[in-house]
A and B are shown apart, each in its own frame.
Chain A
Amino acid sequence: SYVLTQPPSVSVAPGQTARISCGEDNIGSKSVHWYQQKPGQAPVVVVFADSDRPSGIPERFSGSNSGNTATLTINRVEAGDEADYYCQVWDRDSDQWVFGGGTKLAVL
């Protein structure tokens, strides 16, 4: 089955740039989506279709996808960005929706 690999944690100082990776063979051929989940809350999509941003999501959030790695980039990180982030794809071959294991973003 398709497995998406994310780093368990990423730490960044306020105002700096956070990059969260999501890896799998040839992920660049798939459409990758990113969710933010804060404690006790439901997930919220922050980037969809590799690099599109839903209305209401700050421009500080952006995505890219190429080769074997997709990346969520958060510029000018704020304390309020501290959360778990998950990547997700639809695997056409198995017709299954797959989430990465999640990355905890810590704002130092």
Chain B
Amino acid sequence: EVQLVESGGGLVQPGGSLRLSCAASGFTFSDYWMHWVRQSPGQGLVWVSRISSDGGTAKYADSVKGRLAISRDNAKKTLDLQINSLRAEDTAVYYCARERWGTTDMDVWGKGTTVTVSS
């Protein structure tokens, strides 16, 4: 079964850091570009970051550039997102998603991990 499972969320104080992880299974992870998408409480989906299949190219939303770092380990089939200088507005459910091969949509999503930034 094709599956993505996120972990690493939790309650963090403003200014802190957090590393989210996404474990992939059921498909050849190294063949696919991967994304992080977040959703603040009661709000819509917001694209955060994307990384190429070999990890060589990363792209970030303008709103988070400089504070986030996406990475992957194809041997371990994991995708990570490092978030620094956390702010209240980073409070959200963070989803990892697979980009469908040959198009630009996201065909497989994890259930998400929740990050809460609060003192």
Q: Is the CB of B103 within 8 A of A31?
A: yes
Chain A positions within 8 Å of B59 at CB level: 95-96
Q: Is the CB of B107 within 8 A of A45?
A: yes
Q: Which of A19-35 contact B (CB under 8 A)?
A: 31, 33, 35
Chain B residues with CB under 8 Å of chain A are: 35, 37, 44-47, 50, 59, 61-62, 95, 100, 103-107, 109-112
Q: Is the CB of B111 within 8 A of A42?
A: yes
Q: How large is the interface on A (under 10, 10 to 19, 20 to 34, 35 or more residues)?
A: 20 to 34
Q: Is the CB of A96 within 8 A of B103?
A: no
Given contact pairs A42-B112, A99-B44, A48 touches B105 in the complex (Cβ within 8 A)? yes
A7 to B28, CA, bound (A): 38
Q: Which of A72-108 contact B (CB under 8 A)?
A: 84, 86, 88-90, 94-102
Shortest beta-carbon distance from A45 to chain B in Å: 5
Shortest beta-carbon distance from A92 to chain B in Å: 9
Jot down 18 A-B pairs with beta carbons below 8 A, ordered by A. A31-B105, A33-B104, A35-B106, A37-B45, A41-B111, A45-B107, A48-B100, A84-B44, A86-B45, A88-B47, A97-B35, A97-B47, A97-B50, A98-B47, A99-B37, A99-B46, A102-B44, A102-B45
Given contact pairs A86-B45, A89-B104, A42 touches B62 in the complex (Cβ within 8 A)? no
Pair count A-B, CB < 8 A: 63
Of B35, B62, B100, B110, the most chain A CB neighbours within 10 A belong to: B100
A43 to B112, CA, bound (A): 10
User: Does more than half of chain A's interface fall in helix, strand or loop, or is it mixed?
Assistant: strand
Chain A positions within 8 Å of B105 at CB level: 31, 33, 45, 48-49, 88
Chain B positions within 8 Å of A13 at CB level: none
Given contact pairs A44-B109, A48-B100, A96 touches B44 in the complex (Cβ within 8 A)? no
A37 to B106, CA, bound (A): 13
Q: Is the CB of A96 within 8 A of B95?
A: no
